[in-house]
C-alpha cells in the first residue's frame, strides 16, 4: 500500500516487470479517482495475487467485499511515514489491518521516519527491526569508513 496513485501505479509497473520471471503471477492496482466498477471487475475476473493500492480505495473495496483480505500473508506499506503521519490515512490503514489475518508479515518502508511515528508503526508489527543505510549511520557516528564495510544494519528494538 502507498499514499498516492502515482506511486501505486509505479509500484505495480515494477511488479509487472518482475512478474515476467513468474508468468502465473497477476498484479492489481487500485486507487481513487477512477471508476470503482473497473476495480471490482479486475478483482472478480483476474483475481490478482499481488494488490497495490492507496488506503482509501483498498478500504472501500474491502468494505464492500470485492477485495478479500483474509488470506494476506505479506502487508507492505511504502512511504509509511506519509500514511501513518496523516490521521485519515492512518485510520484507513488501521481498519485494513484489522481485516487481515493476525499471522502475516508486516513491512514498512520510509526514507524518513520520525521517532514519534516509530512508536505508532510498532503497533502494526511484531518482533520489530529497523534498518538504516550507511549514509544515516555515517551521519550519526561520524565514521566515513562505514560505507566500505557496511551496507545495512538490522537491529531488534
Same domain, 44 and 64: yes
**pLDDT tens digit string along 98-154?**
999 999 998 888 877 777 777 777 777 777 666 666 565 555 555 554 444 444 444
Same domain, 139 and 97: no
pLDDT at res. 130: 65
- What's the predicted TM-score (pTM) here? 0.77
Residue 42: which CATH number? 3.40.50.300
- Mean per-residue pLDDT for 70-85? 91
Confidence tier at 92 by pLDDT (50, 70, 90): very high
pLDDT at res. 131: 67
Strands (E), the chain: 27-30, 50-53, 74-78, 105-109, 129-133, 152-156
Range of 47's domain?
Answer: 5-126
Same domain, 45 and 114: yes
Same domain, 85 and 38: yes
Pick the residue with more confidence: 126 or 47?
Answer: 47
Same domain, 36 and 113: yes
Domains in the chain, number: 2
Same domain, 29 and 72: yes
Same domain, 98 and 110: yes
Same domain, 42 and 84: yes
Pick the residue with more confidence: 53 or 109?
Answer: 53
Distance of CA 86 to the CA centre of its chain: 15
Same domain, 31 and 50: yes
List, in order, residues 6 or more apart from 87 with CB less than 8 Å away. none
45 in Cβ contact with 39 (< 8 Å)? no
Pick the range with the lowest mean pLDDT from 11-15, 25-29, 38-42, 116-120.
116-120
Neighbouring-strand partners of residue 93: none
Amino acid at each position: 500500500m502507498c499514499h498516492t496513485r502515482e506511486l501505486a501505479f509505479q509500484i505495480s509497473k515494477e511488479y509487472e516487470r518482475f512478474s515476467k520471471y513468474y508468468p502465473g503471477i497477476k498484479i492489481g492496482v487500485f486507487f481513487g479517482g477512477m471508476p470503482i466498477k473497473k476495480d471490482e471487475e479486475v478483482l472478480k475476473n483476474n483475481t490478482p495475487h499481488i494488490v497495490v493500492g492507496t488506503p482509501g480505495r483498498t478500504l472501500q473495496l474491502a468494505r464492500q467485499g470485492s477485495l478479500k483480505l483474509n488470506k494476506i500473508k505479506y502487508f507492505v506499506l511504502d512511504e509509511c511515514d506519509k500514511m501513518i503521519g496523516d490521521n485519515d490515512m492512518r485510520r484507513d490503514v488501521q481498519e485494513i489491518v484489522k481485516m487481515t489475518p493476525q499471522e502475516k508479515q508486516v513491512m514498512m518502508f520510509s526514507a524518513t521516519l520520525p521517532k514519534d511515528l516509530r512508536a505508532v508503526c510498532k503497533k502494526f508489527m511484531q518482533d520489530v527491526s529497523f534498518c538504516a543505510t550507511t549514509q544515516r549511520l555515517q551521519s550519526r557516528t561520524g565514521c566515513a569508513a562505514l560505507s566500505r564495510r557496511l551496507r545495512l544494519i538490522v537491529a531488534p528494538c
